[in-house]
Amino acid sequence: MNGSVQPIIITGGSGRLGRSVIEGFAAAGHRVVSVDRQAPPEPVDGVRYEDVDLLDARTTEELFTRLGPAAVVSLAAIAVPFSAPEDVILKTNAGIAHNVTAAAVASGARKVIVASSPSIMGYGSPAGWVPPRLPLDEDVTPRPWHAYGLSKYVAEQVAAMFAAQHGPGDGEHGVKFASFRPCYVIAPEEWEGAPTQQGHTVAERLDDPRLSAPALFNYVDARDVTDFLLLLLERMHLIENGDVFFVGAADAMARAPLAEVFPEVYPELAHLSGGLTGSSPAFSIEKARRVLGWEPKRSWRTELKV
């Protein structure tokens, strides 16, 4: 690209989360290249859009090398469990994670961020699921039970593999890697009544706990994820190479405390939910707070319009 400022490549920029990330990064003054199968219906001014098959490792590397990014944020993936055959989800998501990360390194990017998912933890397993503690944090071992969860765990391990190759990642030629687990993403228009990823509105998910229960009542505003990513890029020198972060709202998507809700919807977890008082979520964001100083700004209590 022309100019002295290196761009930031964001894959999956046309998706539910990607649209907000693209817009937020551009508004923050970054030169942004969105790499996706197609541009969104309303492209963001100043953003360059590229179409490439990210499962084609050679073509992906050629594009990234031509662009010469300072950083790469990998969001592209099949985004919903069981929305395609299990083998397709696994091969697609794991392949994209590897190809994008490898192309980022080959192109000279110094910072690489890979999107994972809280679903890697294994909740919802038909065989039953009882974690060692609640809220869940990054030290709880993932136990994915479907191809989507496994593919996202593999994506984390891809970032960890490259981090192992590069050591601490500091210094003039160092490369830093990180993964993040965004909770159930709520796009800005969904606060106004547009359907969420599962087809229900936010209000319906709040009114009927059975709709939010499969995700353990987790959620996050897409703009808060954008703020997290901007801060992470700025402060990657503070992290351990290959670090992983949960990224969620500071509260649960539930009108009642989870300590009261869990015994009704998940009696097998009742003994773990006593500390989830008030509006506390089942996913801890303390690591992101402690390491990066990040704090989500938005809640269903302040954003819901209908």
Mean pLDDT of 6-28: 96
Residue 131 lies in a domain: yes
Query: If pLDDT is split at 50, 70 and 90, which confidence band does 3 have?
Result: very low
Among 2, 234, 228, 8, smallest CA distance to 109 is for: 8
Residue 172 lies in a domain: yes
Residue 297 lies in a domain: no
Average pLDDT, the chain: 96
CATH code assigned at 61: 3.40.50.720
Residue 204 lies in a domain: no
Residue 265 lies in a domain: no
Q: By residue range, what is the domain housing residue 243?
A: 8-188+219-251
Residue 276 lies in a domain: no
- How does pLDDT run across 68-126, given as a tens digit for each residue? 999 999 999 999 999 999 999 999 999 999 999 999 999 999 999 999 999 999 999 99
Residue 287 contacts residue 137 (beta carbons within 8 Å): yes
Residue 120 lies in a domain: yes
- DSSP helix/strand/coil, 289: helix
pLDDT recorded at residue 2: 41
- How does pLDDT run across 121-136, given as a tens digit for each residue? 999 999 999 999 999 9
Rounded distance, CA 145 to CA 125, Å? 6
Residues 6 or more apart whose CB falls under 8 angstroms from that of 174 comprise: 110, 166, 167, 168
- How does pLDDT run across 20-67, given as a tens digit for each residue? 999 999 999 999 999 998 888 889 999 999 999 999 999 999 999 999
Among 23, 95, 109, 28, smallest CA distance to 59 is for: 95
pTM of the model: 0.96
Residue 100 lies in a domain: yes
- How does pLDDT run across 180-233, given as a tens digit for each residue? 999 999 999 999 999 999 999 999 999 999 999 999 999 999 999 999 999 999
- How does pLDDT run across 112-124, given as a tens digit for each residue? 999 999 999 999 9
Which DSSP state fits 220? E
- As for how many domains the chain has, the answer is 1
CA distances from 88 to 53, 215, 282 (A): 15, 23, 30
Residue 243, pLDDT > 90, answer yes
